Amino acid sequence: MANIRFLKKKLGFLSKAIFIANILAVIALLLSYTASFINPKVFWPLAFFGLAYLPILLINLGFVGYWLMRKPKYAMISLLTIIVGWNLLTKHWHFGGGEIQKITASDSCIRVLSFNVHLFKAAEKAEEKDFKREVLGIVDSLKPDLICFQEYYSKIKGKHVYAKELKENYGYKYWYFEPASVNDYEAYGQAIFSKYPITHSGTIVKNEYGINRIIYADVEKDDQKIRIYNLHLRSFALQNEDKEFIQNPSGDTDKTKTRRVGRKLKQAFASRTEQAEALKEHIQNTKIPYLVMGDFNDTPMSYSVNLIDKGMKNAFQEKGSGWGVTHYEMLPIFQIDYILASQDFNILNYQIVKRKLSDHYPIWADLQLKR
């Protein structure tokens, strides 16, 4: 009762309404945090709050600004809630960083590149360029030791075989390509290219969904084996009409579309969780240093991402800069591509290459294996 009398005395009608809205925003932000540790197969609606983390965060920051001008002590309501989720915030936004550390041969580093190349077809908002030539230009400028491609497409016969060009002109003598679809002339799927010998490779077939799968390869560098996992987790499988509906929800109140989009999101959340569990099970039997990278199709707030990166080093979180957007096509706010490393590595550099070719940006990192 004392609190109610206090609000009546201190706040006007408008401020009371804003205060109630602030409380609702705080509850929504706390629910978005729970998406990182509550399995969507147990209670899937929380995953939607995790997906909406950024707008919910911005709303709470707006309340902080409002109360600082009106009644500063009320700003602590949202501010403390934001601080509670600080570790999750730093997976989205890295404060500082961005400077590239110079690497010498004595550092014995591995540079890795991950890129969902969208079957080498330009995304809707991409620049009009020769896609494959542009990717080769990125490879030539960065000179990564290892490359993980998702949605990789290539001819498998004739002079236009992409792997052949990477081998002969760029030094990638070893590769593992696992096609999700193949015929006599062409194939698409996932590929790992390496300047180091590949001694073993395979696919985690448990919970795979066509092109959405996990492949791996063991490479040998300086008598040390390292396992590379290339992930392409289950996508939302949204069609153009679904994307338009999400981008302009106020313009369409069709309940059928709402249910269809909701069903696709729910199924994808559950499928990615199952794939993440299959990966963690596989990792438990991995006795060598390992890297996990690729298109996770989910945000840092999701259960699947937090399950995978538990106990690992997140290259963006350690060496990234700003808001880590890696997918820009529909809503340019999402980080869904990652480079993670086991505790055997030090993270020296991380960058997002802001080139609009695919609907994803390429990402790369320098990693140093601890001695």
End-to-end CA distance of the chain: 63
Instruction: Please compute the mean of the pLDDT values over residues 45-63 and round it to a whole number.
Output: 95
CATH 3.60.10.10 for domain 105-369 = yes
The confidence band for 105, taking pLDDT boundaries of 50, 70 and 90, is: low
Tell me the C-alpha distance between 116 and 153, whole Å: 11
pLDDT digits (tens, 9 = 90+) for 106-131: 678 999 999 999 999 887 766 767 89
Percentages (nearest 5) of helix, strand, coil residues in the chain: 40, 25, 30
Tell me the C-alpha distance between 337 and 330, whole Å: 15
- Provide Rg for the chain, Cα atoms: 23
Question: Minimum mean pLDDT among 7-21, 290-304, 343-357: which range?
Answer: 7-21
What's the pLDDT score for residue 239?
52
Indicate the residue type of 165. E
Q: Look at residue 370 and tell me whether its pLDDT is greater than 70.
A: yes
Q: Look at residue 1 and tell me whether its pLDDT is greater than 50.
A: no
The confidence band for 97, taking pLDDT boundaries of 50, 70 and 90, is: low
The confidence band for 98, taking pLDDT boundaries of 50, 70 and 90, is: low
The residue among 49, 21, 43 whose CA lies nearest residue 273 is: 43
Neighbours of 125 (CB within 10 A): 11
Query: Which of the two residues, 13 and 64, has the higher pLDDT score?
Result: 64
pLDDT digits (tens, 9 = 90+) for 316-342: 999 999 999 999 887 788 999 999 999
Q: Which residues, in sequence order, are bridge partners of residue 369?
A: 345
Q: Look at residue 157 and tell me whether its pLDDT is greater than 80.
A: no
174-182 and 186-194 beta bridge pairing? antiparallel
Q: Look at residue 295 and tell me whether its pLDDT is greater than 60.
A: yes
What's the pLDDT score for residue 244?
57
The confidence band for 7, taking pLDDT boundaries of 50, 70 and 90, is: very low
pLDDT digits (tens, 9 = 90+) for 224-233: 999 999 999 9
Q: Look at residue 294 and tell me whether its pLDDT is greater than 60.
A: yes
Tell me the C-alpha distance between 25 and 32, whole Å: 11
The dihedrals phi and psi of 48, each to the nearest 5 degrees, come to -65, -35
* Kind and range of the H or E run holding 313: strand 313-314
Instruction: Please compute the mean of the pLDDT values over residues 253-262 and round it to a whole number.
Output: 69
Tokens describing residue 44: 């899937």
What's the pLDDT score for residue 172?
97
**What mean pLDDT, rounded, does the chain reach?**
89
Instruction: Please compute the mean of the pLDDT values over residues 274-290 and round it to a whole number.
Output: 97
The confidence band for 175, taking pLDDT boundaries of 50, 70 and 90, is: very high
Q: Look at residue 367 and tell me whether its pLDDT is greater than 50.
A: yes
pTM, two decimals, is: 0.90
Tokens describing residue 225: 């084996």
Percent of the chain with pLDDT over 90: 71
